[in-house]
Structure 1
């Protein structure tokens, strides 16, 4: 009777062992992709904005209220044209006082000169009157120069690309009120990471993407590279020349893709199918780990120089938990 009691337990244990063995030996379903031929491009990525080649920011050098402003946004101006005026009443009042003092000093100098001609005064008194007149004249000249800072003028000929501020508002120091420059030609200015800058050269083709033109690839050319980088952000400023017929406008932001090198008719596999330099292929019903030699690596594809051929069945994405030699079955075949 005891033996009979053990028989059902033995049967159950055998079933469990058999089920575990079946689970461990069953083929793992995988998705495969076949390598394809295409062009691979080595790209340096950055982000930038569109600016004119020639332009200037115009800001006040004194803090005062705006009393006059041109309505010239989009209009062409000449160098020296008045763009705005600030309240200069206090400066003019001070200038008037200095001019009155200059008039009195001039009269005193003339009086001392007449007396000196008659030997009725000393040379010392004449020199003192002349010195006082010279000092006041210098003060008047300085006040007139200061008065000129209350007039905001166009620093260069061009188009008023943008103007800010309103009559009655306080113009703060350093706040840009006008942008004056030429609408064409345009540049894209971007900051490129210092680890990428050694590969960037003048003349390289550049592809641009802008949110204003979805799905449209725009082109530019590397125009120049700033010799000194920023040690804080670890970037270098790069200027890209745009063609005259570009649809991009001043101030637009762009994604910059600098084409460093292009490999024609390269053997490509998906980036997600590679981990380091390893790839897993299906041979029969077995997964095999292969080490490959790669070339250009992009977001969507990686150039394979050696290690597999065009007929390989590559598991994609990379099966990190699949052991070399494991049994597999193809559940899906991609491109």
Structure 2
């Protein structure tokens, strides 16, 4: 009985509260308790959910510490240096173009009017001084050979006249000693010999001129029927403008020959920097075809006026090209030293590696133990010891870094990231 009474009292509605609202309240409380129990009594799911982000590692992530044995460092030729401050050459880099040294180039022409009968060299040929280039047929050669024959005959006549005059003077000498002739007749014989000798000398001079003209035409001493145009210098044929049958005159350019052992590099330098360049200054020149090789040039000319469109000054450099690796019309980069910077933290360029889009160096924390360190770079410059680069952030003076062999540490770092 008491239990039934308590049940009756429990089910009896509270005064002032509708049974329907009471039912809704009981259902809402039950749902809330169920959700709370579901959350409280499933901790493994909650822990797993919260632990998942903490244990996830990006595929690109890599450890920052590398440990190398002494043997590995020796095999990798690892060299460690202390970071120091030093001045860098203050450099200006401009683009330019390789050109023929006009002081060592020749446009080959014809000395006479004529028609080309043979072309004996073409573009790209290497020729020596005096080598035949072009053969012509010319009426002037016919006239020159006629003049030569006439001059030769005149010399023969003059030689005979001189011999006769000499014999007459010798005879006059004997007669004068015998007092068979007067002194006036003796003087006349001496004058005749002098005149004959003068005529002989003039005839010989005319013959020499005729020979020289034939030589100029390339027809001496072989006495060729063609005018032979020869190379005035040794070099390479850069341009050919004639073919067989071309009619040429003394104003016609037949070929262009250049000695490529020296070349010009022409650059356009901005107005503010041009005033800091001096004739005779050494420059470094690179071209795309030989990107790892630096050619040394010397400033030989600085323009007297500005280009009104670009506001630049032409600077001409002379570069030695003994192995003829440089070619006319190549584009070039010219590096000109303008002075030195103030002392700053700099390291060798080979100490810097790129990982994940950022520049890094490897700092020695202990013997054989290295830390990857991100750095920010500034100016770079070539020095006699190689290329050096400024570090604007990430390193302090006195820290020890891997200067040579840093690629080995980069490889070990990436290998460790892949294994993980």
Among 144, 147, 151, the alignment partner of 1:91 is 144
CA distance in 1, matches of 2:254, 2:345: 52
Q: Which residue of 2 aligns with 1:79?
A: 129
Q: Which residue of 2 aligns with 1:29?
A: none
Give matches, 1:97-136, under 5 Å.
97-119=150-172, 122-136=189-203
Matched, 1:137 2:204: yes
Compute the displacement of 1:83 (Å): 2.1
Q: Corresponding residue for 1:34?
A: none
The normalised TM-score by structure 1 is: 0.51
- Superposed displacement of residue 105, structure 1: 1.8
Aligned residue in 1 for 2:242? 165
Of structures 1 and 2, the one scoring higher in RCO (CA 8 A, sep 6+) is: 1
Larger mean CA deviation between 57-66 and 230-239 belongs to 230-239
Q: Distance in 2 between matches of 1:243 and 1:159?
A: 13
Q: Does 1:198 align with 2:276?
A: yes
Deviates more, 1:68-77 or 1:128-137: 68-77
Alignment TM-score, normalising by the size of structure 2: 0.42
| 1:224 counterpart SS class | strand
Matched, 1:251 2:358: no
Q: For residues 135-176 of structure 1, what are the alpha-carbon distances to aligned partners after superposition, in whole Å with 9 as ceiling and x for unaligned?
A: 121121122112222233233445545433234420433735
Q: Structure 1 109/231 Cα, relative in aligned 2: closer, same or farther at 3 Å?
A: farther
Higher helix share: 2
Indicate which of 101, 113, 128 corresponds to 1:64: 113
Q: Who wins on radius of gyration, i.e. which is larger? A: 2
Equivalent residues, number: 225
Q: Does the residue aligned with 2:160 lie in a helix, a strand or coil?
A: helix
- How far apart are 1:181 and its partner, in Å? 3.9
CA contact (8 A) 1:58 1:154 kept: no
Q: CA deviation at 1:61?
A: 6.2
The aligned runs of 1:234-249 (5 Å cut-off) are 235-241=314-320, 246=325
Structure 1 gaps, min length 5: 1-38, 267-294, 297-308, 310-335
Distance, in Å, in 2 between the alignment partners of 1:232 and 1:136 is: 57
In structure 2, list runs of 5 or more residues that go unmatched.
Answer: 1-87, 173-184, 219-228, 307-312, 347-377, 380-392, 394-420
Q: Relative to structure 1, is the Cα distance of residues 132 and 159 closer, same or farther in structure 2, using a 3 angstrom cutoff?
A: same
The ranges of structure 1 where at least 4 consecutive aligned residues each deviate by more than 6 angstroms after the TM superposition are 261-266
SS in 2 for 1:62: coil
1:221 paired with 2:298, answer: no
RMSD: 4.6
Tell me how far 1:112 sits from its aligned partner.
1.6
